[in-house]
Structure 1
Amino acid sequence: MPTPRTALIVDDERDIRELLVLTLGRMGLRVDTAADVASARQQLAANKYDLCFTDMRLPDGSGQDLIELIATRYPDTPVAMITAHGNVDAAVDALKAGAFDFVSKPVDLQVLRRLVQNALQLSEQRRAQQQTSNNRLQGESAAMNALRATIAKVARSQAPVYISGESGVGKELVARLIHEQGPRSAGPFVPVNCGAIPTELMESEFFGHKKGSFTGAQGDKEGLFQAAHGGTLFLDEVAELPLHMQVKLLRVIQEKSVRAVGANAELPVDVRILSATHKNLAALVEDGRFRHDLFYRINVIELVVPPLRERREDIPALAHNVLARLAQELGEPAPKIAPDAVQMLTDYPFPGNVRELENILERALALSDGTVISTDDLRLPTPRAAGTPGTTPSPAGGVGKPVYITGQQPAVPADLPDYIERLERDAIVKALEECRYNKTKAAAKLGITFRALRYKLKKLGID
């Protein structure tokens, strides 16, 4: 399940806060509120937001000061000013201070929703720029050089591209690079996980809806195709689309127009389609679970992203770069990796690819006691010995390659990451309370290093 977008509302009027919380909540955002500058500063320090609204006049300061603070310390968070009706000077000053837009009281909900969509799009673009600058397709292996050359070629085209590859190889990053290097780079890049949208909401999410078209449609809503107009729409996990949506998607691609739910007329859309999945889409076509006509439409150009185990020579440099980025986020010097730890990473098959490498190194950095990452800090799954359960038999009847496992685990809830995070949070809060918020003692009580505790506090947002 994707992490919900977050917003901070700063206003001393309770009615305005409640109106914005209700409106943004219906748009799928998680909303925090603050009634003054001091509370807003605390919220900004403790959490990362995709969007912020602030009133112009606050009990202990001005929204202008808050905008300048956000522009300086939290440049990835778009902020909008809430102004009194007709106060043009304040709006202009807010824009000069770094606000991306403003909304006047009384708040027009349609204007507000459009502003929120633009802000989230801006936030996504800023994150994309940061990610691609820090995390561009790294590696000098033959496979990566060939992939970069192919991206440069297909970026110049307007043809749909199907990006295939295992989970964690960086398919979305490849899609972003195709967008950035092509003629649509000035337009929006709109990613959507097709498996994360409830079936009953798909048509509304993709094509938009008109007010009153169904229960709960309290206003007009722009769909993903309209949001991507002039740019690129990236359909991640496209294999998860149900058949009825595949039919509608095919028609949109063919006609280059969409009809919102409840609308009488179609609207033209100018969108380049990029799609991806970790599944074998050709096999799904053979099984009748994916339409062959849609497959041929989105698969004009296929681009295969190689798994990490097929470019092992890139792993040492990748590991050093990931650790440097993680350490920078924590405000610490980057640790070194022991040679035997580098070799262990190079030998590991990485079923989760680059995403798994990042997770392993993030954990190692948190649990390491010193300035050098050792093999013990990596805590990689270990292979079973030959001939024991867990190995795969070879065709000749002997023992094949070892299977990397972490042992048999008891059943856990389906939302495993959230479940583990709740357990960690409860344990840390309890230890802090028992140690009267002495972090050094709490770390010792939990059996982890002080640095590991500090990392967990920041990751879990515990102040």
Structure 2
Amino acid sequence: MNLSAQQATLALLSCECLETLGQALCECILQWAPGAYLLVGYISPSKQDLACYSNGKGESVLTLQFDDFSHPFSQVIRTGKPAVWSTLNYGVRIEHPEFRALVQNMGKECGLSVQPFFDNELRLVGIFAIFDMPAVLNTLVQPEHAFLYLLQVYLLQVRHLKKAADLVSKNNARHEVSYIQQREKNNISHAVQQAFVGRSSYICQLRRKIQVAITHEAAISIEGESGSGKSRLAALLHTLSGRKGALVIVDCNSLDLQQQGRRLFGVDNVSESALIEANNGTLLLENIDQLAPCWYGRLQHALDCGEVHSSQKYDFAVSQFRMLTTSCQSLSALAVTVPSFHSLYLRLNHYPLMLQPLRCWREDLDLLVPNIISELCQQHHKPMLVIPNEWLTPLHAYHFPGNVLELKTLLEILLLEYSDAELSTVHEIFAEQLTHSLSAEPIAVPDYTQSGTLKEVISVFEKAVISHRLIRKNSNKERVANSLAISRRSLDMKCKKLGLSK
């Protein structure tokens, strides 16, 4: 191999990108054929066309379709073998209009030599074409000439640079994915911390379990007392899990047996059922302990097979959803007392979450109360309110039978009862009202063994409930009636009958 060929080889091996590599090859060829016109063609990723570049650089000057046989390159693409044309007759016999114009623009009669090159798996990846006089072309394609050797060096360097570029691309993609995943993880962690404020060991452990629950698709049962935040937790799990479908909520406690079947499975048309509406989303069954036993088997079948049959069994469809359930009582105890519930319980309780009553983690009230008031001020467009420490004293002594919901409702009522000026200047009024509202004792549980008729015992209990609620609501009968889900007229009649009228 002569010195110029060695220099050409070193020039190719020193290239660090595909663009400079193509230019270097063309510069080497032009030393041996100064009057040549060179084209480097690369097969597109779609394997449908060939993009050709003049002298290995610049914009593509020609794009040829694989299934188009109106140009000379089609023979090389089809056979995978080199080809030489001693003359192109100024392009007059070439049917491809752009290729014919390219040859005619050269301004001279020339021949064509085309060399294919392949990858490690012997797949065609491109071609190298030289347009020049027949004598020059015949010289270049001779076995003893350095041209064919240089093409092999060029192909090896293409493979090396492409492999390096692919590796860098994969590493960049991996780092990008890692960054996105870490950012999403931080966003989820922040959202969970905002939803469950506190520093107690219970709250910290609950937040960790919630973040685990977000990462999988297993069924989750949420147990806790009324007002402890079960529905809010379920909505948070659905939102942060990023499911494409909707969150469909069915409260089993508000429906009778027939309504449960109609809402969950539909009657004749299963597309109207909640299980189909929750496809690719989340189905939340609130108060699952109130679901009629006759629907256990059908719900279990839907969880096992993804098939939803209408209550009349005339229609069925397929649905993939995540199941979330809430209950105020222990589902494990229910599974023991109701054997038919046990099989369904095993499918609902893959990852249980237990919400403790607020009285068990009152040490977090110092953080929880300001956080709730801040949310309420934004919701009702009130100025931000700073909570003095003395306001929290009666809260720590209260047992909170209604848990977090009761606390939020109480703070919202107090916040709305006073004007912005009063809340910002007269803190004593707010503190006094707060203390008065929390001074009510819990409802005394009547002695069910006491003598008297059933009507008399119920009357005692009813009087205790209404009396307690009147104290809690500051004798506001509209609020009392709404909280008891009865009309104002019914409440007035009961108060008069029970001797509670003022």
TM-score, structure 2 normalization: 0.48
Counterparts in 2 of 1:348-387, with a 5 A limit? 348-368=398-418, 369-371=422-424, 372=427, 373-382=430-439
After superposition, residues 276-291 of structure 1 pair within 5 angstroms as: 276-288=326-338, 291=341
Q: CA deviation at 1:144?
A: 1.4
Q: Which residue of 1 aligns with 2:347?
A: 297
State whether residues 481 and 488 of structure 2, in contact with CA within 8 Å, keep that contact through their aligned partners in structure 1.
no
Q: Which consecutive segments of 4 or more residues in structure 1 shift more than 4 A?
A: 132-135, 389-392, 409-413, 418-424
Is 1:186 aligned with 2:244? yes
Counterpart contact for 1:361–1:378, Cα < 8 Å: no
Give the alignment's Cα RMSD to 1 decimal: 3.8
Task: Identify which of 189, 196, 199 aligns with 2:257.
Answer: 199
Deviations along 1:2-58, one digit per CA (max 9) or x if unpaired, are: xxxxxxxxxxxxxxxxxxxxxxxxxxxxxxxxxxxxxxxxxxxxxxxxxxxxxxxxx
Structure 2 contact 414–434 (Cα < 8 Å) conserved = yes
- Stretch of structure 1 that moved more, 338-347 or 371-380: 371-380
Matched, 1:223 2:273: yes
Which secondary structure state, in structure 2, belongs to the residue aligned with residue 210 of structure 1?
coil
Give yes or no for contact 1:192–1:235 (8 Å, CA) kept in 2: yes
Paired amino acid for 1:166: E
For the 8 Å contact 1:168–1:354, the answer to whether it is kept is yes
Residue number in structure 2 paired with 1:452: none
Who is 2:287 aligned against? 237
- Alpha-carbon separation, structure 2, partners of 1:289 and 1:352: 31
3-state SS in 2 of match to 1:336: coil
Partner Cα separation in structure 2 for residue 384 and residue 259 of structure 1: 49
Cα pair 1:340 1:375 within 8 Å, conserved:
no
- Do the aligned partners of residues 271 and 390 (structure 1) sit closer, same or farther apart at CA in structure 2, a change above 3 Å counting? closer
Equivalent position amino acid for 1:236 in 2: E
Query: How far is 1:390 from its partner?
Result: 8.6
8 Å CA contact 1:151–1:177 kept in 2: the answer is no
- Partner Cα distance (2:391, 2:371) in 1: 15
Is structure 2 residue 396 aligned with structure 1 residue 340? no
| Letter of the structure 1 residue corresponding to residue 375 of structure 2 | R
Give 3-state SS (helix, strand or coil) of 1:374's partner. Answer: helix
Q: Aligned AA for 1:143?
A: Y
The separation in 1 between residues aligned to 2:331 and 2:402, in whole angstroms, is 20
For 1:376, the aligned partner's letter is: Q
- The share of aligned pairs that are identical, in percent, is 24
How far off is 1:260 after superposition? 2.4
| Corresponding residue of 1:144 | 203
State the alpha-carbon separation in 1 of the partners of residues 344 and 465 from structure 2. Answer: 40
Who wins on radius of gyration, i.e. which is larger? Answer: 2
- The answer for unaligned runs of 5 or more in structure 1 is 1-128, 212-219, 393-404, 428-463
Cα separation, partners in 2 of 1:294 and 1:384, compared to 1, 3 Å: closer
What secondary structure is seen at the aligned counterpart in 2 of 1:359? Answer: helix
Q: Distance in 1 between matches of 2:375 and 2:238?
A: 24
Structure 1 residues 348, 418: CA separation in 2 closer, same or farther (over 3 Å shift)? closer
Report the structure, 1 or 2, having the larger helix content: 2
> TM-score if structure 1 supplies the norm length?
0.51
Q: Determine the C-alpha separation between the residues in 1 that align with 2:335 and 2:482.
A: 32
Q: Give the match for residue 235 of structure 2.
A: 176
Checking the alignment, whether the CA contact within 8 Å between 2:238 and 2:282 is kept in structure 1 is yes
Q: How many residues are aligned here?
A: 271
The one-letter amino acid of 1:224's match is A
Partners of 1:370 and 1:178 in 2: CA distance? 35
Q: Distance between the aligned counterparts of 1:409 and 1:303, measured in 2?
A: 31
Does 1:417 pair with 2:482?
A: yes
| One-letter amino acid of the counterpart of residue 408, structure 1 | A
